[in-house]
Structures are given as C-alpha cells and as structure tokens.
Amino acid sequence: MSPAVVVTADGRLVTKAVDGALVERKLSAEGVQRLRNEAIGSGLFVSDRQISLELAPGATPTQHGLDSRTFRVWNGSRTVTVSSPVVAQADEMYFKPSQERTQLDALAARLRAPESWLPASAWAAPAPKPYVPDGFRVVTSMEQVGGSQPDVAAVDWPFNTPITDLGEPLAASSGVIAPLGPGTRPLRCATLDANDARAARDAFERAGAGVSDGPDGAFGTGLTWRAAGSGIVLFFQAVMPDQSSCTDAY
C-alpha cells in the first residue's frame, strides 16, 4: 500500500524495489530539479483530473478489474493530483489511444528508475539503503477476527489510550488506503513514532498475537474483543518523508 516513488525538496528519494521493499537514496539539488522538470515539463500537472478510458469502436473488453496510478506533484502553490488507469498491453486494443496515458506511463517508468537516466551530478548518495521510517500510521477496523488471536484485554498495552480508542475517525474523503476488511466504518487512524510502533508490536507478540509483515515495512495484526462480541484489526503503515499524520493527502 506504500507509494512507488516519493521525492522531497531536500533530496530524499524513496522508491519501491521489485520485491516490494522500500529503499532510499539522496539526490543533489540538481537531481531534485531534474526530476521536478521531468514531471512539470510534461504539461500534465496544471490542474487536478482523472484521465478516463474510452472504448475503441466495436470493442468488447474482457471483464476484469483495472489498476490505477496517481501522481501528486507540487506545482507552484499547491499539490496537483492526476490519476490514470493502468492498462495491460494485451488490453490496449480495446481502448482508444491516449497521448496522456502514454505520457504518464513513460513518466512513471522514468521516476521509478531514475538511476537509468540521471547523471552522476544528480546524486548526493546514489547507493540505495533500506528505508527506515520515522513513524507509522495505524489504521484500525472493528471486525470479526478468527483463529486463536488473543483478546484485547490480554495485551499489555503500553499507552494510556486503549487499543479500541486509538486514533480518530478517518474521514470518508480521506485518501488513506489500508488493506482491512469490511468492518465498522469509519475507520480510525493514529500516528505513532517508530519507537512507539515497536512497543506496540512487542506488546502484541508478548500476548501471543500473530503479526504479519509486508515487504514495505508495514505490519498488521488482529485481536479478538470478546467484551464487544467482535474484534479489532490494526494495520501499521510506514510513514513516508512527506507525510506527518492521518490528514495527509495519501
């Protein structure tokens, strides 16, 4: 669920490797400007918009879901958001050609592999290293939890706020996405620094809860909540360098 590429004004560049792991490098001021020029120079980030697909005449595409790709680019005084569907090469015949989609596909490829075209002068620290987040965004959902996961009451929770009250309700308009089930809405969201997230995980594991890990540093668990006849699922997502809270844009 983490973004594929994040570039900040101070040169931090976080990208997702083929195996899903997040790695960080450092750009020079020249490198930041080159990446910015690559995006802004495309002319695609003037205003927010959703690029749609148009069926080719007489086309009947196979029925399956489509992925989408979202770009968020700082342009002048605001962040411009442009989203576009991602179409597999085998499905392109079903849709009218789109210069904008073609440009965005090419831009995404270049941003994901800047080492393939940026000069040496664009890098302050070109060697990738594992991304170490400063904190985690924690999204919770009240829903049934199966298996032998422990009860909420069995967790020696290290914070004053109870697990069931962690965070604030997440607005329906929020761009925060978490791989949770169809539990009680709205979801709740909190931010913890890296040390507190580690303390929370330790508490889960001491109670005997199974914790699943994602290649991008995310982790999650579920607890039963017998007092309410339900359960709670918690998903911890590594915060990116341009994120600070549950109210950020993604």
Is residue 119 within 8 A of residue 33, CB to CB? The reply is: no
First to last CA, the chain: 10
Strands (E), the chain: 5-7, 12-16, 22-27, 49-50, 67-75, 78-86, 123-130, 135-142, 168-169, 188-193, 212-213, 219-225, 230-238
- pLDDT one-digit tens code per residue, 175-232: 677 777 766 677 899 999 999 999 999 999 999 999 999 999 999 999 999 998 889 9
pLDDT in tens, 82-109: 999 888 888 888 888 899 999 999 999 9
pLDDT at 144 over 70: yes
101 within 8 A of 51, measured Cβ to Cβ: yes
Least confident of 84-98, 122-136, 151-165, 203-217: 84-98
Q: Is 30 exposed, middle or buried (0-12, 13-18, 19+ CB in 10 A)?
A: middle
**DSSP helix/strand/coil, 240:** coil
